Structure formats: structure tokens, C-alpha cells
Structure 1
Amino acid sequence: MKGDFIFTSESVTEGHPDKLCDQISDGLVDRFLQQDPFSVITAECAIATGILFIAARFASDAVVDIAGLARRIIVEAGYDHAGFDPNTCTVMTSLNALSSEGRSTRDEAEMDEAEIDGMLVQNQSTVFGFACTQTPGLMPLPIWLAHRIAHRLADVRKQGQLAYLAPDGKTQVAVEYRDDRPARIHGITLVAALSEGPMPDQNRLHQDLMDLVVEPAFADEAVRPDDRTRLFINPGGPLMVGGPATHAGLTGRKNGIDTYGEYARQSDSALSGKDPTRIARSGTYAARYAAVNVVSAGLATECEVQLSYSIGLSRPVSLQVQTFGTGRIPDADIAARLGRVFDFRLAAIIRDLGLRRLPGAARDGFYRRLAAYGQVGRRDLDLPWERPDRADLLRT
């Protein structure tokens, strides 16, 4: 992308059906890893009116009440009896308990070089990491703002400030760029599901969401709506109840929301529902980690890192860097520095980012908290792949 253009990105609240499925999938990953850090687990969900389906494959010593955990997560997302009742909904499961024989129970932090090299990738994947100077979180501005509005919408509901809000919601922000830099907010769309009961008229809804959601979301932003910004609130008419009663959900269907809002490339593989041995997840975090440090080192104002992995190898077969003309040194030189400073082997990624131990260190789990409002660029969470702690090493 060069010159002048408009770019849009969307986000959704944790009550959106796709994000319910992501949270359930990652809640299961958390629970397995909390009990057994060496668990191998993949979990996927589908949800619709009155029914939840969970498919999980795992090799673990953990004992998990899968259906019970799923019901609790749905309650915590804001659903009780209106639209979707987690206490009475049907929960169907397809569970495949695999043999624990052959799975690694060796802590990567204790591995020697030969052991790290011997931990092979089991799935082929090309993953991407991106960082830029458009926002304090080194994220593209459209997805940054879409997340802020969606998060604020959920907070207003949870705090009881607008009793008529239901858990489901969606936001979109269109940013106008001039000379490749954000210049103004072109448009904002906010779709808020409404609970059963007394409903506000459109004028009140518009004013309430402007006062309590949109304006606070932009309070600390350098680029704000102006008198030409187009604002749409429930443009399709009232969305009653929303959630699984209105539209179905599926794990892994919001990859753009999980990453860069389609402003930069992302893998087509889901992040949620996978333990750290799945390179599609761990590699995505490693690539973001590298990009964050490139930009933090001042080597570029935009950086995309691509890592390609093949089954049966421990390290990527390809490491590519693009800085889109913003690099202070050639892209190939940045890639060479990344190869020197970072270890992109699977075991080293798990070791350096502490991916097995993070769920056990967080009382309410770790990966589930990533399942809404983005898995990268989070300023509200202390994520190891967001730390610019290797920037100094990249400068030399």
C-alpha cells in the first residue's frame, strides 16, 4: 500500500459467537496446561441456537471437566437465559484421548542444543509477524481503534452503565491515510446487540454509545473523529439479543481480528485451541516478537517478518523480512540480524517465551485472555512477544 488510501478493520466483543468458540477452545488449552504443562491439546468448537459442539484431541495427565468449563466460559461472557442458556444448552463432545507415550515431558529451559534441535515441527506452516509506528502498541491504527471501541463497549455493558446492551457486538473503523500515514478517521461503525426488555430509540442509542463508548475510546488518541467522520450505529436496524441465537460461531474464524486487522498478512491457520507445540501459534508469536524488536530498534517504521516451517524440521526453512521502503538498512541485513539474535526453532520459541508455563502463572488462565481483542499488540496484558528487549542487540 502506497500513497493515499482508506483502510478498514473490524473487532468484536467476547460475546460474539466466533469469539465464544475461541475462548472455550483456549480455556481448554489453559486448563490442560495448568494441570500438566506438557499436555498436547487441540480443541475446536462450534456454537448455534441451543447447542455447543466441542472436538478435542489430547495427550495429557490432566483431568478436565470439558463441558462444565465451556458452560462457565459462556456465563462469564455475559449469557444467562436471554438468547442462549449455558445451563440448559446441549453440549456435544467428540473427545480423542491419545496415548501419552512418546510425547515430550522435558522442559525446554533444561534442554541442550541437541535436544532443542531434536524437537521437530509436526505441522507445516508459514507465519507472519508485523509491527509499525502508527500506535503505541506498534499496531496498525484501524485494528487498534476497532479493538478499543469493542473493548469499551463490553466494559460499559459489564459495568451496568447501559442495561439494554447484550454481550454480542461488532465494530469497524475506517482510517484515511495520506502518504502512508494515518491522517483522519473516515468512518466508524458500531453494531450493538440489545437485550430483551425496554429498548432505547435510535437517537438515544446513538447518543449513549457516542458518550459512553466512542468518545472515551478516542480520549488518548492522536487521530480522532472530526466533523466529516461518518458514524453508523446499528445501521441495519435493532439487533435483538444477538449471540448464538442469531448467528453461529466457529473457532478460528476471526484470524484478522486476532492479528493485524488484514492490514498485514497473517497465516490462514487458527491460533486459538492449540498448545504451544503447534508452530502455527508459537511461530506467529515469535514472528511478532521479532518485528516488534526491529521497529523498536529504529531499523524500520514498518516491518513484516515471515517464517516458513516444514514438517520434520526444527527450524524455519525461510526467514524473510519486508520493511516496505522504511528500513534504515537493507531488508536482507535485518533478516541476517534476526537470525543471529533470535532462535526460531520450535523448542527455543517455547523456552524463550515461556509458552508452557504462562497458563499456570495466571489464576484465570492465559490463552483464553488472548481469545478476544487480539493476540498481539495488547497493552492491557504483559505478553512476552510484545517486549522490545532485544532491540539493542539488533542495532549492532
Structure 2
Amino acid sequence: MMKKDFMFTSESVTDGHPDKLCDQVSDALIDRFLQQDPFSRVVAECAVSKGILFIAARFASQASVDIPDVARQVIGQIGYEHGAFNAKDCTVMTSLMELPALSYPQPDERQMGEEELEAIAARNQANVFGFACNQSAAMMPLPIWLSHKLARRLAAARFQKQLPYLAPDGKTQVGVEYRDGRPHRIHSITLVASQWSTAPRGHDKLRDDLHEHVIEPAFLAEELRPDARTHVFINPDGPVVNGGPSLHSGMTGRKNAVDTYGEYSRHSESALSGKDPSRIDRVGAYAARYAAKNVVAAGLAQACEVHLAYSIGITRPVSVQVDSFGTGSIPDAEIADRVHAHFDFRPAGIVRAFNLRYQPQLFRGGFYRRLSVYGQVGRMDVGLPWEATDKAGLLR
């Protein structure tokens, strides 16, 4: 059963946060490989600190990718174009392992029959979770939904030059009070905004600017808004000058809660960024979200968690569990039976259903890089296939 009266907080970060910078570099590499060769197998991990960015990648592909150049492009596009850490002068170190070449042509999931789909097993073990609830338009928990909105507005205020003195690194947090299991009021808002050392603003000016250009626009269309008792914290630990890798280090996959449900529900055990579609620990998390969201959209539950467990060498998940936390209109076992009947959780089935090998060719600027910041689920700005509710009617 879900708790009734409580307060919950979730955080998000902007694209200039060092962890998210690493996620974006890793996923930009996935995009670049798949754009040239949709059957590339790639794992790309990144770490950054001060003036150094380190990439460890292993791949089997017919693509030819200038890995350091991709990293520098991402760094520059985020906004690190000058200062102690910048796209031109930072050191990019690589440790690359080219795996044995794949035989071509590779089998295309879009052309496969049932026997072929059944023959492709999970290549690694994984526990993945998908969650959905009716707290927001995106069927996401309200704290992470609002934290992402604030983070996007914080970045937009810089990109649109409303607040040009802001640096790319930023963090947000929203606390929501729940009554009888439902969001009741906004308890607190925290913004940590970095500023360029060349154009700092005092705390009062920064507070007023962030209220006008970040907090107010983010909550404009929301049913719950800050009230007179809402605690608003702006850089509560003091000024943040320059921020980013010159201040603190980053690493791929270190923001799993930001990528998923803000710790409101369980999230998958592995990092999502930096992995090609053959990795079930990434794509299985998308499939679990797809199933959970359709359960809620069908009205079968107010909140739903779908848990998939995979073992190496086995095609189908060895366990499919559904938990509606006592909010289901029918028993959880019946919901699980319907999910079993209408969703294909086989690795090749997921790749086919979401067209995951070819998405980077369809999205200008790349597909997986878009997922690497502001959430890999619950997005209403990208048209993600796992955010569709096209199976709600079947589940009913």
C-alpha cells in the first residue's frame, strides 16, 4: 500500500552538470555509431574532472567515428566555450577497444518472424523497473516532473540570453507534500545556479531573476503552485562560480534517479546512457515504463510498477511482476496477466517495437543524446515510443 501523508523531494540537473555532460558524451557516441551502422554494438563510458575528459569505449561496428571530436562538440554545445574547462582546451583521453567485426548483413528485427525473435536471448542479466502514476500529465511522480521543468527553464534562461551571466551547471529540487496519497502543496523549491566569474550577480539580484525567469514560468501551467508557506532556497550553500567540471567531477550513469522517477519508485540497477539497443538493461527499462504507463492510462490502477528480470541466454524475462500499491481496480495478478498477453518483452521484440536501431537517423541532432538529460522516461517533448498509451484499450 502507498503511504497517505508524507513529503517527498526529487532533484534534477541541467545539461551542464558534470554527470550529465558525461551522459551526453556517451549517448552522442551511441548516436554517431548507429547513424552510420544501425547494427553497431557499443558501450561508451565517460568521466570528467577539471581539464580532463576520459572516454572508455568498446565497440564492434563498420562506422568510423572521431570520438574525441564528438566529445568536444558536445562540450561546446552545452556552453563550455571558455573558462577553466572548455571544448577547445580540455584534454580528451581515450581507452578504446575494437571488438571482432560483426558478420554482415546483420539480422534486422523489423524483418524477423516469431522463431527468429525467439532465438535472440538477453546478452546480460538485468533487473529493470517501469513506473507510472496519475500525478502529472506525463504520468510521472510530481516531484521529478516539476524538478525537470525547473531544470529546463534554468537552462533555457541561459540559452535564450534572458540571464546570460548563468553558467551551464545547475541543480533543482522540489518537495511536494502529500495528503491521503495525493499531491497537496509545494513544500519547497531549491535552485543551485552557477555564474560565470566574469559577470557575477549578487544574491538578491540572482534570487529575483530566478523567480521571474525560472520559477514563475515553470509553474505557470501547473495545478499546484508555490504558496506563501513554500520554502524557496537559492544557492543555499553560497555562490557557485563557473561550476561544472572545474568545480566537481562527473561520470556516466551516476544520475539514475534523475533519468527515471526521482527515487519516488524503484529504478533499474544499471546506467541507461552509453549503451546500444542490444543491451537489455537499457531497453528493458523503456519496455517496463511502456507497460506501466498503459496500465495507468487504461484506468486499471492509479499507480503501477512493472518489474522485469532477465537472465543471460534466456529470451524472455524470467519474472514479470506488477504492483499497483493497493490502487488497482482489479487484482495485481489480473493486471500482470493482461500485461503478459499484450506486451513483448523479448530483447529483439523491444528493439523492433521501438525502432531503436534507426531512431538516431530519424532525429536531427541524435536521439539517445536527447534522452541523456531531463529524463529518459516521462518526456513529452520528444515523441518517445515508450511514452505512447496505444495499448490502454487492449488492457481494458
TM-score by length of 2: 0.99
Q: Any idea what the Cα deviations from partners look like across 1:40-96, whole Å, max 9, x if unmatched?
A: 000000001110100001000000000001000000001011231211111110111
Name the structure 2 match of 1:210: 211
What is the alpha-carbon distance in structure 2 between the residues aligned to residue 121 and residue 83 of structure 1? 43
2:343 aligned with 1:337: no
Is the contact made by 1:151 and 1:373 (CA closer than 8 Å) also made in structure 2?
yes
Instruction: State the match for 1:297 in structure 2.
Output: 298
RMSD between aligned residues: 0.9
Instruction: Tell me the distance in 1 between the aligned counterparts of 2:339 and 2:14.
Output: 35
Alignment of 1:35-74 (within 5 A): 35-74=36-75
Distance 2:105 2:183 in 1: 47
- Superposition pairs for residues 119-198 of structure 1, below 5 Å? 119-198=120-199
Deviation sequence 1:193-212 (CA, Å, 0-9, x none)? 01122322111111110011
Q: Say which SS state the counterpart of residue 374 (structure 1) adopts.
A: coil
Alpha-carbon distance between aligned partners in 1 of 2:297 and 2:66, rounded to the nearest angstrom = 43
Alignment partner, residue 390 of structure 2 = 389
Structure 1 residues 32 and 206: CA distance shift in structure 2, 3 A: same
Match of residue 255 from structure 2: 254
Q: Which runs of 5+ in 2 are unaligned?
A: none
Aligned equivalents of 1:25, 1:78: Cα separation in 2: 17
Q: Is the 8 A contact 2:34 2:40 kept in 1?
A: yes
1:146 CA displacement: 0.2
Is the counterpart of residue 286 in structure 1 residue 284 in structure 2? no
Deviation at 1:376, TM superposition (A): 0.4
Check if 1:114 corresponds to 2:115.
yes
**How many angstroms apart in 1 are the aligned matches of 2:199 and 2:36?**
45
Runs of 4+ deviating beyond 3 Å: 101-104
Aligned amino acid, residue 144 of structure 2: I
Percent identity over the alignment is: 62
**Pairwise CA distance, 1:103:** 8.1
TM-score by length of 1: 0.99
Give me the whole-angstrom Cα distance separating, in 2, the residues matched to 1:205 and 1:69.
Answer: 34
| Paired amino acid for 2:239 | P
3-state DSSP class of the match of 1:116?
helix
Please, which moves more after superposition, 226-235 or 201-210? 201-210
8 Å CA contact retained: 1:122, 1:278? yes
CA distance in 2, matches of 1:101, 1:381: 31
Q: Which runs of 5+ in 1 are unaligned?
A: none
Q: SS where residue 30 of structure 1 aligns? A: helix
CA distance in 2, matches of 1:233, 1:276: 39
Query: Partner residue of 1:97?
Result: 98
CA distance in structure 2 between the aligned counterparts of 1:107 and 1:101, rounded to whole angstroms: 13
Map of 1:75 onto structure 2:
76
- Decide whether the 8 Å contact of 1:83 with 1:242 is kept in 2: no
Please tell me the residue identity of whatever aligns with 2:217. Answer: P
* Equivalent position SS for 2:291: helix
